Amino acid sequence: MNLADLCRSLPANPRVVVSGNHAVPFHTLKLVDAALDDYRLWVLNAPAGVPDREGVTYETPFVGVGMRGSARLSYVPCRLSLVPSLFGTTMPPDLVVLNTTRPRDGKVSLGVEVNVLPAAIEAARRGGGKVVAQVNDHVPWTFGDAELDADQVDLFLEADEPLPTAPATVVDDVAARIGALVAHRVADGATLQAGIGAVPDATLYGLADRRGLKIWTEMFSDSVLALERAGALDPRTPVQASFLFGSDELLAWVDNNPRVRMIRTETSNDPALIARNPAMVSVNTALQVDLFGQANASRVRRRIHSGFGGQTDFIVGALHSPGGQALIALRSWHPRADVSTIVPLVDEPVTSFQMTAVVTEQGVAEVFGLDQRRQAANIIEHAAHPSVRQELRDQAAELGLGPER
């Protein structure tokens, strides 16, 4: 079976789940796009360059630059730890497209991007969907949940595409000051979670003189490699993460390296598992923090900018870890917007929790696993008092939550 025949076997308007972040198999995705008139493109943190045309509906719980601001975006609010459950409920995949190594000993490796892909593959296999792998010699071989039995793949296509790499992070004086203040709170033997950017990098680079540190994180970059080379990491504990992004040097270090264990999202972002790590220190950022201690980390001018991601998972897990800390590290002044990031009350939805449903005497409004428009419609029609429903519909439209045009 070739790719064109495989695509013809899919149902109408299929859901196509693709390796995201910094592992998009662009060559194969372009072929899929050419073979399908209409489809739903599901990508976590989609970069620039994903197909953008009428007939392609974007679906994601975490919006990347490739989908941000699109009128065809269907954003699904969801903690990253719970995203895998969507594939078995409201968002079953019809096709999963991967970026992998060559097969060896009956397996391939997902390389730099494990994340929610194992769950997507399993759901596709259960539901009669298909799995396609772009065999790419630039993908490093990583272990753990990155390893996939080759017989789980229906079709292999060869296409060597270099993976994107991260430019060197510029740590200015403000980022260095924040990083130093965070690093001062981290003791020997702590377990670390931090993202990518100047402040997380400044924090981790500032820990080079610590010993026995452990890494349990959603993602990591070159600052973790710097800690390894400084002797700061516990040699008995592997670096555990769900995806990674960094320099060519980092990609070479992780290739065939048993020190690095890639784990699926259900493991990396499970708050109960995070809490088992000793002195878990979670370092995340936000767009705004208010005087009630609430944070907005996902919306700008009432429009979705990113999403929950793993922040809520790690905050909860770190707070329940013995000696754990959940830190929001951000600049006090936003240089581009020229405004304070500390505000009396956040004027965007708080990046915190989400519920399964809203229940009032009017009925039950299902929320979990639905995109933001359907969430709003359900809350208005099934939970709100009839006397305010039209007002709420009008306000929903002003917030970009009205029916799709």
Amino acid occupying residue 259: R
pLDDT of residue 231: 97
- Residue 233 gets which letter from DSSP? B
Phi and psi dihedrals of 58, rounded to 5? -85, 135
218 counts as catalytic: yes
Torsion of CA 216, 263, 67, 131, to 10 degrees: 180
Domain boundaries, the chain: 3-158, 173-343, 357-398
- Any bridge partners for residue 262, and if so which? 144, 241
Q: Note whether 3-158 and 173-343 share their fold.
A: no
- The dotted CATH code for 173-343 is 3.30.750.70
C-alpha separations of 130 from 16, 21, 280, 340 in Å: 10, 21, 39, 48
Report whether 251 contacts 113 (CB < 8 A).
Answer: no
CATH code of the region 3-158: 3.40.1080.10
CA distance 214 to 218: 13
Residues whose CB is less than 8 angstroms from the CB of residue 82 and which lie 6 or more positions away in sequence, other chains included: 368
Q: Which amino acid is at 236?
A: R
Q: Is the pTM of this model over 0.75?
A: yes
Q: Over its length of 405 residues, how does the chain's per-residue pLDDT go in tens digits?
A: 899 999 999 999 999 999 999 999 999 999 999 999 999 999 999 999 999 999 999 999 999 999 999 999 999 988 899 999 999 999 999 999 999 999 999 999 999 999 999 999 999 999 999 999 999 999 999 999 999 999 999 999 999 999 999 877 788 888 888 888 889 899 999 999 987 778 888 888 889 999 999 999 999 999 999 999 999 999 999 999 999 999 999 999 999 999 999 999 999 999 999 999 989 999 888 888 877 677 777 777 767 778 778 888 998 899 899 999 888 888 888 888 888 888 877 776 666 655 557 677 777 788 777 887 888 898 898 878 888 889 889 888 887 788 765
- Distance between CA 74 and CA 358 in Å, rounded? 21
Give me the catalytic one of 59, 113, 147, 218.
Answer: 218
Residue 114 in contact with residue 145, Cβ under 8 Å? yes
pLDDT per residue as tens digits for the range 78-96: 889 999 999 999 999 999 9
How many Å separate Cα 367 from the centre of its chain?
A: 20
Q: How far apart are CA 64 and CA 45, in angstroms?
A: 4
pLDDT, tens digit, 9 for 90 and up, residues 152-181: 999 999 999 999 998 777 888 888 888 888
Helices (H), 96-160: 117-127
> Is 8 in a helix, a strand, or coil?
helix
> How many angstroms separate the first and last alpha carbons of the chain?
38
The DSSP 8-state label assigned to residue 368 in this structure reads T
